[in-house]
Structure 1
Amino acid sequence: MSKGLWEPPRLRVSADNEEERRATWLELFFDLIFVVAIAELAHYLDGHVGLSGFLGFIALFVPTWWCWLGSTFYATRFDTDDLGHRLLTLLQVALVAALAVNVHHGLGESSTGFALSYAAFRFLLILQYLSAGYFVRAARPLTNWYIRGFAISAFLWVLSIWVPLPWRFGLWVIGLIVDFATPLTAGRLMTQFPPSLSHIPERLGLFTIIVLGESVVAVVKGVAQKEWDISSVAAALLGLSIAFSFWWIYFDSVDGSPLKSVKAGKIRIAMTWLYAHLPLAIGLAATGVGVDQMIASQSGVLSIEARWLFCGAVALCLSVLALIHLITCTLGTTRRRKILSAYRLGAALFVLMLAAAGSGLSSLVLVALVAFACVLQVVLNLVLTRKAKTITEEVGG
């Protein structure tokens, strides 16, 4: 369908929200820059293995993810894919590229560039909401709420460039708290204009694919940088099995059922499900770096920092998946969801025990045990699904 050079935003509500809403080609292009950003974040973590490095990785990852999510939530309600929207998206792509450029020294000499890039991205999003509020009167209370909250955060990030390190990061934290709290406190405004039940899960799934891809990149990178032997190939295959297991247990159950609670006024359930994808993405990206460390350690001594990074990242993913599965109604009864969550938490505890007591394990044995814990989750999923199908057939028969 041809579009004019520019058309005012319109709000997708009621019947629009019930229709199957798919990602646009522009959104898929927009995602490409985040492939680069995640790669740079992983490169940062790979060079700063340890607790302080992981905390720094989180500090840089959260604003990057929030940029992606902010654009996604605007698009799910107001995108027009006209000339104006495309040009603003191009500017946002450039600003995410600037974020990626400043990542490696983002907590040091490049922190000013990182802060300004983030603030500029947020100001562009505010401009989009100003336009939407101007043309769509019904949505003005919601857009004004977002504009006020996001503007406060963006100004704090701009202000931070005049604050010396490390106090600068205090303003970053406050700004992010304001950013995260703005949708969370929207209340009835969110219930009046809920996000798309098909579009948001698909977009989150696509971002999950991006961070899962980092594990595949880590395997290729790890094997390419050393001579092939049985142990390195085995570690690579086990690393791929971990990524595949996470893909299986996430995408085998992902849907927007927790978002339906918004219509009932239960915003906390929906926002818990939504915000849980942040630590999941952090864990998946860090798992890729951990796999790289495991492959690199095949011919040397595995450091305690590398062991904790790898096991901690996998345990984080499993713990977050336990929470997501607990509130995903389409997985079945409350009892079945609790069982699935217990499996995930049990595996997370096992992996953490390996981190704490695995000093005598080689990297190959460690990655094999972790891979076993993850693959077991897939097997348990299949067993539960088969049992549920059998019970249904017996009742139906």
Structure 2
Amino acid sequence: MADEPGSAEERHASWLELFFDLTVVAAAAQIAHRLHTADSIGQVAACGAMFYAVWSVWTTTSVYANVAGERIRQRAVLRTMLGIAIMAASVPGVWPELLPGAHEGVPDGRTAVFVSAFLICRVIASRSAARDGQVITFWPATQSIMAAPWIASLFVPPTVAYWLWGVAIATDIAFSMVGARNPDAIDQMTESARRRQEQQDRRLARRIARLIEGGVSPNRIPAQQTTLLSVAQVERGHLDERLGLFVIIVLGEALAQVVAANTEEVWTPAVIASSLAAFLLLVQLWKLTTLYGFSPAPRTTAPLEPWQALPAHLGVTASIVVIAAGFGALIPEAVEHLHTKDRWFIFGGLALYFLTSILAGLAGRAPLKWFLGWALPCLVVSAALGVFGHPLPAWSLALLAYLVPAWFATYNRLVKKP
């Protein structure tokens, strides 16, 4: 999402925002570790729910920073940063009854800590925007959260809890996507924010009255100030940069996993080939990010609206985490047949990446030839390798995993832009 023509000065991520991003690295690493040991679709979904929680905290804080600009509340961002760090430290102990791979000796209660930190971080972002008088209608999740399912999940068995998480996540995304496009919902959000502001003003007025009645000196009485409400406008260039930086962060964590997989391996030709293929695949994903931005698809229309862009960003970053988990298992087994779950991590992750690209392409009205010649074939080949790739040795699957996005990236070289 590039800046609109005529913008006076392009705004970039601040040092505070870049510092805030560092906590995402730790969280992504911990979630990838748990994902690597997942053995069922339910366990993969549970890891996905944890990733969404971290992503949503990062997103709500980044959206708040986007609309706040120089008025950003530094303490609020640093508190949220601490919250994500607590969530990351809690990941190894979340749902030990449901998810394998928890570190031995991790104290009980980490699930409650994770959920509590998540809810507090979302509240911090919501209140920060409200105090600035900003009503963020282009991504309503920034200013609201369905807390009940998350809280209820602490008092039910894990096999029920992650269904509650799923309901909360689906509602969160649907509310933001539908609410951002619904004029009535936008009016309701604005009216709700106005009522909250009026309540705060009345409480402040009563406090001042009590101080006056108590004989407090006027110089010590806080001035009553009414914050004027306004509908926040997204700064497209800044948001695009923030979302792109998050993708780079996740790619960096994926590269770290590839390196870690090589630290204790004998560097046989198969291991070297697999590692090189994994590195080149990440390079291709990086090139696609620099070419198209965080939504890997060409477009002939205006930049994607936030309600379209943010779900696409979630799909892309989640797919990279899944692919990295697959390569973390592939490299040590380079000459063997890859386990079904690890094969699906790689090619299922690629399929999710291309599916997200197709949806972004539909939203951006990408050319039909791109769909037919690049996006759809890459999606079909990825899914086919996930289903039928068992007879192939792991190192050859790594090479095929690289070749699929390599072809996907040739569109701009082989076809002139419309």
Cα separation, partners in 2 of 1:379 and 1:171, compared to 1, 3 Å: closer
Query: 1:19 Cα shift?
Result: 4.1
> What letter corresponds to residue 155 of structure 2 in structure 1?
W
Equivalence for 2:150: 157
Which structure 2 residues correspond to residues 180-219 of structure 1 after superposition, within 5 A? 180-184=173-177, 185-186=179-180, 187-188=182-183, 189=186, 193-219=232-258
Q: Tell whether 2:159 aligns with 1:129.
A: no
Which residue does the alignment assign to 1:6? none
Root mean square deviation of aligned Cα: 3.2
Of 319-328 and 30-39, more deviation after overlay is shown by 319-328
- 2:325 maps to a residue whose letter is V
- Indicate how the Cα distance of structure 1 residues 140 and 367 shifts in structure 2: closer, same or farther if over 3 A, else same: closer
Cα separation, partners in 2 of 1:374 and 1:141, compared to 1, 3 Å:
closer
46, 54, 57: which is aligned to 2:36? 46
Matching residue of 1:287 = 323
Superposed displacement of residue 171, structure 1: 3.5
Q: Give, as a single letter, the amino acid of the residue that structure 1 aligns with 2:117.
A: S
Q: Tell me the equivalent position of 1:370.
A: 401
**1:3-51 C-alpha deviation (Å, 9 max, x unpaired):** xxxxxxxxxxx99977412111100000000011111111111122543
With normalisation by structure 2, the TM-score equals 0.76
With 59-68 and 176-185 compared, the bigger mean Cα shift is at 176-185
Match of 1:94 among 73, 82, 97: 82
Q: Partner of 1:310 in structure 2?
A: 346
Greater mean deviation of Cα atoms: 106-115 or 341-350: 106-115
Task: Evaluate the alpha carbon distance shift between residue 140 and residue 197 of structure 1 in structure 2; reply closer, same or farther with a 3 A threshold.
Answer: closer
Matched with 1:240 is 279
Please name the residue that 1:349 is paired with.
380
Change (3 A) 1:69 1:141: closer
What is the distance in 2 between the residues matched to 1:236 and 1:77?
A: 42
Matches within 5 A, 1:6-21: 19-21=9-11
8 Å CA contact retained: 1:146, 1:182: yes
2:13 to 10, 16, 23: 23
Which is greater in Rg?
2
CA distance in 2, matches of 1:181, 1:236: 39
Aligned partner (choices 354, 379, 383) of residue 414 of structure 2:
383
**C-alpha separation in 2, matches of 1:104 and 1:249:** 32
- Distance of 1:307 and 1:141 partners within structure 2: 41
Name the CA distance, whole Å, in 2 between partners of 1:92 and 1:351.
37
Matched positions, count: 355
Counterpart amino acid of 2:343? Answer: R
Deviation at 1:160?
Answer: 3.4
2:332 to 296, 299, 324: 296
Residue aligning to 1:103: 91
Q: For residue 92 of structure 2, give the secondary structure of its aligned residue in structure 1.
A: coil
Residue aligning to 1:136: none
Where 2:292 maps in the other structure, the secondary structure is: coil
- CA distance in structure 2 between the aligned counterparts of 1:167 and 1:104, rounded to whole angstroms: 20
| Runs of 5+ unmatched residues, structure 1 | 1-13, 134-138, 393-397
Partner Cα separation in structure 2 for residue 116 and residue 367 of structure 1 = 40
Shift of 1:297: 0.9
Q: Would you say 1:274 and 2:310 are equivalent positions? A: yes
8 A Cα contact 1:76 1:195, kept in partner:
yes
* Amino acid in the other structure paired with 1:210: I
For residues 66 and 11 of structure 2, the distance between their equivalents in structure 1, rounded to whole angstroms, comes to 8
- The 2-side partners of 1:75 and 1:349 are apart by 39
Cα deviation for residue 312 of structure 1 reads 0.7
Deviation of 1:176 after TM superposition, in Å, equals 2.6
Q: Secondary structure at the match of 2:144?
A: helix
Distance change (3 Å), C-alpha of 1:178 and 1:296: same
